[in-house]
Amino acid sequence: MSTLNYQESPLLKKSAIASQVIPAGEGWMHRVEAGQTLRIVDLKGNQAADTFFFCAGDLQERYSAQDTIREQGGIYLTTGTRLMSNRVRPMLTITADTCGRHDTLGGACAAESNMVRYALDKRFMHNCRDTFLLQIALSGLPLTKRDLAHNINFFMNVPVTPEGGLKFDDGVSEPGKYVEMRAEMPVWCLISNCPQLNNPCNAYDPTPIEVLIWK
Amino acid sequence: MNPLFEEVLPGGAMWSMRIPRWRRIRLTALSPGANVSALLYHAGNPLDRLNVPDTLKALHTAMLTRGHVLMSDMGSALASIVEDTLGWHDPLGGHSTAEMVSAAFGASPYQSARNAFHRNARDNFLIELAKHGLGIADIVANVNFFSKVVADDEGRLRHVAGHCPSGASVTLRTEIPVLVVLANCPHPMHPPGEYPRVPVRLEILPSDPPPADDFCRGFRPECGRALELAARHLI
């Protein structure tokens, strides 16, 4: 799978059936029907949109990063990537991408992983896993922490070196960059707009994103 | 030091055990080309489980070797890699399913092959996890001991053939009580052909607690903090 695979979308904002701005540190959970298109817009640039999917017909079927990267033979997500489930079935296909590279190795930040990565006193900072846990708890769906596996970080740049190193590079995203994906099955989309203040994934300045859905 | 327990896992085997803290788990390939897919859980709370992304980003690595600490998604060290003759174990490739094994190595059902039938890691995980009250929701990203998958500059993934010689070994030290679940099944990116069937010796040995100057503890500050959080399980 090539990287920096630039592809604009023909979809117009005025024809979207739903749209929502998600401030940094907030979550969003929404059902996307088969055939519908979901767009995530990096409104101010260099933001990380932590995103996860559940199959609406069977909530135990969910996004799987390892199955996604192995089946496409590459670690970066971009136009053409099929987001695979833990049953190795395509859940969504990325149909447009003006950013060109997205991460699915880094997972979400959590209170506890912040302690490990930065310092033990980071325990009380807001984080993506808390947002995920609150969103699924409020959703009314039979979902718990057991059901959260590792996610996509749209707009994040996490290169792997041929020597097996993992780097956290400055984002390649800019204001207005977006990624768009078509649901291949009905899915629940779970987003945490990352509040991380300890690393350069969002230039230490978390900013809003926007989500839109087209029929 | 004599092992507390020793067993050979035949090719295709599944295995699980709750293991107290501060034991060494040594896996040794008894012929070339081994792959052991593995999942780890806090034995007292399986919701606290191996988190591959947290492990990789804390260690700034996309492979695993000596010095690395396998971390849970609640910040605890689960096990540290204290010995390794290979220098690279795969945390990216995931694990095999029945469909993948059949496509790569042909159908070989029990009816005709008896106990040499082609087992896969997914089914093995589901069977072993069920013995501990766990299921598919508990299957998260796994690691593959003895396998190497590299990414090139474009991010394309390649499974490296011939990585694991006979006699290769890797040793983990448990840092809290862990449930270890293993599937001695082909790597999902193993090239098609004959079903690889590599016996792996498993030994459980005593271990001292990690000393202040422990290699894994000092490998990166993140390792030290994960070991400190593991120690909080003793409070």
Instruction: Kindly report, residue by residue over B60-93, the tens digit of the pLDDT.
Output: 999 999 999 999 999 999 999 999 999 999 999 9
B36 CB contacts (<8 Å, ≥6 apart)? B9, B27, B144, B145, B146, B182, B183, B184, B200
- CB B216, CB B81: distance < 8 Å: yes
- CB A180, CB B170: distance < 8 Å: no
Q: What is the pLDDT of residue B233?
A: 85
Number of structural domains (chain A) is: 1
Asked if A19 reaches chain B (Cβ–Cβ under 8 Å), the answer is no
SS3 of residue A120 by DSSP = helix
Asked if A10 reaches chain B (Cβ–Cβ under 8 Å), the answer is no
Q: Angle B72-A31-A175 (CA atoms, 0-180°, nearest 5)?
A: 75
The domain in which residue A119 lies consists of 24-214
Chain B residues within an 8 Å CB radius of A76: 155
Q: What is the pLDDT of residues B161-193, one digit of tens each?
A: 999 999 999 999 999 999 999 999 999 999 999
Asked if A4 reaches chain B (Cβ–Cβ under 8 Å), the answer is no
* Residue A171 pLDDT grade (very low, low, confident, very high; cuts 50, 70, 90): confident
Q: What is the mean pLDDT of residues B121-146?
A: 98
Element spanning A111, H or E: helix A111-117
Proportion of chain B above pLDDT 70, given as a percent: 100
User: Which one, of B128, B185, B144, lies nearest residue B12 by Cα?
Assistant: B185
* Residue A4 pLDDT grade (very low, low, confident, very high; cuts 50, 70, 90): low
pLDDT, chain B, mean: 97
Residue A146 lies in a domain: yes
- CB B114, CB B80: distance < 8 Å: no
Residue A13 lies in a domain: no
Chain A residues within an 8 Å CB radius of B93: 66, 70
Q: Of the given ranges (A5-19, A127-141, A195-209, B193-207), which has the lowest mean pLDDT?
A: A195-209
Q: What is the mean pLDDT of residues A139-168?
A: 95
Asked if B60 reaches chain A (Cβ–Cβ under 8 Å), the answer is yes
CB-neighbour burial class of residue A99 (10 A; exposed 0-12, middle 13-18, buried 19+): buried
Asked if B143 reaches chain A (Cβ–Cβ under 8 Å), the answer is no
Which residues are paired to B190 by β-bridges? none
- CB B67, CB B81: distance < 8 Å: yes
Q: What is the pLDDT of residues A37-87, one digit of tens each?
A: 999 999 999 999 999 999 999 999 999 999 999 999 999 999 999 999 999
Residue A183 has pLDDT above 80, yes or no: yes
Asked if A147 reaches chain B (Cβ–Cβ under 8 Å), the answer is yes
Which pairing describes strands A37-42 and A82-84: parallel, antiparallel, or unpaired?
Answer: unpaired
Q: How many CB atoms lie within 10 A of CB B153?
A: 10
Cα separation, A114 vs A120, in Å, equals 8
Cβ contact, residue pair B74, A2, below 8 Å = no
* Residue A199 pLDDT grade (very low, low, confident, very high; cuts 50, 70, 90): confident
Residue A64 lies in a domain: yes
pTM (predicted TM-score): 0.96
- CB B171, CB B82: distance < 8 Å: yes
Element spanning A134, H or E: helix A128-138
The domain in which residue B134 lies consists of 5-234
Cα dihedral A83→A86→A89→A90 (10° resolution): -10
Q: What is the pLDDT of residue A175?
A: 95
Taking only Cα atoms into account, the Rg of chain B, rounded to an integer number of angstroms, comes to 17
Q: What is the pLDDT of residue A1?
A: 39
- CB A195, CB A128: distance < 8 Å: yes
* Residue B235 pLDDT grade (very low, low, confident, very high; cuts 50, 70, 90): confident
Number of structural domains (chain B) is: 1
Residue A2 lies in a domain: no
B88-126 in b/e form (b: 16+ CB < 10 A) is bbbbbbbbbbeebbeebbeebeeeeeeeeebbbbbbbbb
A38-58 in b/e form (b: 16+ CB < 10 A) is bbbbbbbbbbbbbbbbbbbee
Q: What is the pLDDT of residue A168?
A: 81
Cα separation, B113 vs A64, in Å, equals 32
Q: What is the pLDDT of residue A2?
A: 42
Amino acid at B118: H
3-state SS string for chain B: CCCCEEEEECCCCEEEEEECCCEEEEEEECCCCCCEEEEEEECCEEEEEECHHHHHHHHCECCECCCCEEEECCCCEEEEEEEECCCCEECCCCCCCHHHHHHHHCCCCHHHHHHHCCCCHHHHHHHHHHCCCCCHHHCCCCEEECCCEEECCCCEEEECCCCCCCCCEEEEEECCCEEEEEECCCCCCCCCCCCCCCCEEEEEEECCCCCCCCHHHHHCHHHHHHHHHHHHHHC
Q: What is the pLDDT of residue B187?
A: 98
Chain B residues within an 8 Å CB radius of A121: none
If contacts are CB pairs under 8 Å, which of residues 46-65 in chain A contact chain B?
60, 64-65
Chain A residues within an 8 Å CB radius of B94: 64, 66-67, 70
Cβ contact, residue pair B53, A107, below 8 Å = yes
Record the tokens describing residue A158, joined without a space.
Answer: 């996490």
